[in-house]
């Protein structure tokens, strides 16, 4: 099988090395073989982007709007087919995957609109006869480095604003999901961007990613991925004086208080903790439950978990697909072992599952009697494993919710306006959900967290301009 090529300087370019892309629901199914770029390929992509920037940054906003709209239209028209590819490659269920593709299309549509709404300010000077204008300008070459768990939505929410505001892009997708990245690149290229404005460079983080981060001609890095990689990127970007934004892990709390509607609480917890196989940075991995509802909640959760269908991501009726690969499955199982050894009680799940096809299937797993200082309550597992932590009352639940090194999303299930309002004000997180799962957000409003979860300006919505533009203040003698 010939390796699918990278897109560099306006051409599809093969590589001496290729890597197989394996379906995690059925490891005998090879989705494709994809080129692995080397350092030279990456440098050529950066050079092409740098060269293209001079013209692209001055391109008309109507042109940028039309190109982004064209990309959006094709993504939306092909959402079922692209969703199937995404589910086959990443392992989320077909409805989840089709939903993610539709979201990517909406994001391109949103930023097509933003391209013609780029605004500045005219402000009075404190000195006589002087005009002041504040304008937004693009940054230059932006390196886009993305994780495997949202193979099209995350690239979309970085590439679309980067292009809308006049930047050129070198896109490095995660190694595990090149097929979706390649399909997205084909659509972007077909829209007719000038050569060099957009480049796809598939390959290793230690090769392509590091070259991007350390290259002096890359003005900014937008990264989503793990905390460990994010910290490394931050250090390198500071050394090179680059602008950067990091979206990293989570250990998101869902607080369930005595007055919660039980069915709402259980659905929020099941969705937030287990859907997408728990492989979401916004997953509810800590369920903090107050005394008066604790035992009934655990009983209702374990009953509901018995009904969950874990199977091939492409099968009709599957609610939870496999782990993305062997190494993620091993990580899930190793944390389950850690939980047992720490003295938490296994209330449901805890092992792998056999299905018709050889895949990385793991049972949705619930631990009870978890203390917030246990590793399973502090470290991101990134699998369908949730920890129930008992709290005396709302105040203790809030304190436990905030006692974490992360701060991406925090949720509460309650029928009390008092608790809902207090929680919205006092949860130490970038996003707060009331009677909703911690995972599942809109595409037109800011996304991001606090503490160890995020660094730099927010992504998505109009707030994306903060990262993808830089502000200029011009003074004119009138």
List helix spans (H) across 78-152: 79-90, 94-115
Closest to ligand NAD by CB, 175 vs 312, is: 175
Q: How many CB atoms lie within 10 A of CB 121?
A: 11
DSSP character string of 354-384:
--SS----B--EEEES--TTSHHHHS---SS
Closest to ligand NAD by CB, 21 vs 258, is: 21
Catalytic residue flag (residue 247): yes
* Among the residue ranges 111-119, 127-135, 226-234, 315-323, the one whose residues contact ligand NAD (CB under 6 A): 226-234
Buried b (16+ CB within 10 A) or exposed e, 322-345: bbbbeebbebbbebbeebeebebe
Two structure tokens written together for 227:
């905390």
Closest to ligand NAD by CB, 151 vs 166, is: 151
Roughly what angle, to the nearest 10 degrees, separates helices 417-426 and 394-402? Answer: 20
- For the window 354-383, what string marks contact with ligand NAD as x by the rule CB under 6 A? --------------------------x-x-
**Phi/psi-derived region of residue 416, left when phi > 0, alpha when psi is between -120 and 50, beta in every other case:** beta
DSSP character string of 454-471:
EESSPBSGGGGHHHHEEE
Q: Among residues 7, 56, 110, 148, which is the contact residue for ligand NAD, using CB under 6 A? A: 148
Rounded CA-CA distance 225/181 in Å is 16
Residue 226, classified by CB atoms within 10 Å of its CB into exposed (0-12), middle (13-18) or buried (19+), is middle
Q: Minimum distance between the CB of residue 396 and ligand NAD, rounded to whole angstroms? A: 27
Q: How many CB atoms lie within 10 A of CB 18?
A: 19
For residue 39, give the nearest of 208, 236, 216 by alpha carbon: 208
Give yes or no for residue 222 binding ligand NAD (CB under 6 A): no
Give yes or no for residue 149 binding ligand NAD (CB under 6 A): yes
Size of the site for ligand NAD (CB under 6 A): 29
The single-letter DSSP state of residue 404 is: S
Give yes or no for residue 209 binding ligand NAD (CB under 6 A): yes
* Among the residue ranges 25-33, 141-149, 298-306, 412-420, the one whose residues contact ligand NAD (CB under 6 A): 141-149
Site for ligand NAD in 76-135 (CB under 6 A): none
Give yes or no for residue 202 binding ligand NAD (CB under 6 A): no
Give yes or no for residue 145 binding ligand NAD (CB under 6 A): yes
Q: Minimum distance between the CB of residue 424 and ligand NAD, rounded to whole angstroms? A: 20
- For the window 230-259, what string marks contact with ligand NAD as x by the rule CB under 6 A? --xx-------------xxxx---------
* Among the residue ranges 192-200, 224-232, 307-315, 420-428, the one whose residues contact ligand NAD (CB under 6 A): 224-232
Q: Among residues 27, 226, 302, 402, which is the contact residue for ligand NAD, using CB under 6 A? A: 226
Catalytic residue among 247, 268, 409, 459: 247
Give yes or no for residue 229 binding ligand NAD (CB under 6 A): yes
Two structure tokens written together for 230:
């994010």
Q: Spell out the residues 6+ positions from residue 326 whose beta carbon is closer than 8 angstroms to its own.
A: 360
Closest to ligand NAD by CB, 63 vs 229, is: 229
Catalytic residue among 237, 281, 409, 413: 281
Q: Minimum distance between the CB of residue 137 and ligand NAD, rounded to whole angstroms? A: 26
Site for ligand NAD in 389-428 (CB under 6 A): 408
Give yes or no for residue 42 binding ligand NAD (CB under 6 A): no
Give yes or no for residue 323 binding ligand NAD (CB under 6 A): no
Q: What is the Cα Rg of the chain in Å?
A: 23
Give yes or no for residue 147 binding ligand NAD (CB under 6 A): yes
Rounded CA-CA distance 215/328 in Å is 31
Q: Let me know how many helices (H) and strands (E) the chain has, helices first.
A: 15, 22
Q: Spell out the residues 6+ positions from residue 330 whose beta carbon is closer than 8 angstroms to its own.
A: none
- For the window 449-468, what string marks contact with ligand NAD as x by the rule CB under 6 A? ----x---------------
Q: Minimum distance between the CB of residue 190 and ligand NAD, rounded to whole angstroms? A: 24
Rounded CA-CA distance 440/450 in Å is 18
Give yes or no for residue 350 binding ligand NAD (CB under 6 A): no
Is the separation of the CB atoms in 105 and 79 below 8 Å?
Answer: yes
Q: Minimum distance between the CB of residue 19 and ligand NAD, rounded to whole angstroms? A: 12
Give yes or no for residue 151 binding ligand NAD (CB under 6 A): no
Q: What residues make contact with ligand NAD under the rule CB under 6 A? A: 145-150, 172, 174-175, 205-206, 209-210, 213, 224-226, 229, 232-233, 247-250, 281, 380, 382, 408, 453
Q: Which residues are catalytic?
A: 247, 281
């Amino acid at each position: 099988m010939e390796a699918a090529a990278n897109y560099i300087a306006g051409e599809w370019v093969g590589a001496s090395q290729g890597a197989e892309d394996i379906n995690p629901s059925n490891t005998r199914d090879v989705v494709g073989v994809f080129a692995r770029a080397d350092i030279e390929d990456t440098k050529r992509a950066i050079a092409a982007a740098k060269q293209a920037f001079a013209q692209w940054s001055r391109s008309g906003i109507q042109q940028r709007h039309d190109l982004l709209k064209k990309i959006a239209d094709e993504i939306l028209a092909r959402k079922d087919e692209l969703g199937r590819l995404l589910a086959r490659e990443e392992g989320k269920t077909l409805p989840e995957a089709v939903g993610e593709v539709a979201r990517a299309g909406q994001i391109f549509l949103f930023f097509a609109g933003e391209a013609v709404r780029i605004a500045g300010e005219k402000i009075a000077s404190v000195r006589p006869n002087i005009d002041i204008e504040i304008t937004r300008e693009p940054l230059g070459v932006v390196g886009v480095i993305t994780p495997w768990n949202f193979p099209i939505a995350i690239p979309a929410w970085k590439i679309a604003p980067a292009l809308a505001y006049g930047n050129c892009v070198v896109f490095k997708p995660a190694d595990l999901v090149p097929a979706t990245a390649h399909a997205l690149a084909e659509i972007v290229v077909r829209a007719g961007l000038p050569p060099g404005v957009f480049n796809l460079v598939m390959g290793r983080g230690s090769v392509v990613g590091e070259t991007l981060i350390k290259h002096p001609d890359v003005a900014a890095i937008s990264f989503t991925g793990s905390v460990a990689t994010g910290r490394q990127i931050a250090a390198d970007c500071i050394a090179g004086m680059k602008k950067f934004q990091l979206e990293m892990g989570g250990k998101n709390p869902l607080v369930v208080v005595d007055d919660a509607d039980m069915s709402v609480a259980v659905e929020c917890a099941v969705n937030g903790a287990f859907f997408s196989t728990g492989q979401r940075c916004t997953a509810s991995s800590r369920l903090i439950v107050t005394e008066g509802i604790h035992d009934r909640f655990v009983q209702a959760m374990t009953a509901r978990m018995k009904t969950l269908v874990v199977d091939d991501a492409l099968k009709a009726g599957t609610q939870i697909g496999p782990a993305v690969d062997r190494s993620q499955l091993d990580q899930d199982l190793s944390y389950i072992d850690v939980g047992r050894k720490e003295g938490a009680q296994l209330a449901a799940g805890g092992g792998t599952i056999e299905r018709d096809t050889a895949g990385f299937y793991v049972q949705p797993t619930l631990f009870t009697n978890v203390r917030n200082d246990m590793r399973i309550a502090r470290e991101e597992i990134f699998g369908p494993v949730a920890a129930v932590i008992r709290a005396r009352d709302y105040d203790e639940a809030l304190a436990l919710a905030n006692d974490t090194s992360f701060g991406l999303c925090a949720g509460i299930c309650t029928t009390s306006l008092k608790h809902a309002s207090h929680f919205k004000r006092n949860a130490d997180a970038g996003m707060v959900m009331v009677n909703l799962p911690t995972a599942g957000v809109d595409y037109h409003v800011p996304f991001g967290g606090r503490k160890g979860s995020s660094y730099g300006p927010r992504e998505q919505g109009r707030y994306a301009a903060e990262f993808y533009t830089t502000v200029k203040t011009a003074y004119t003698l009138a």
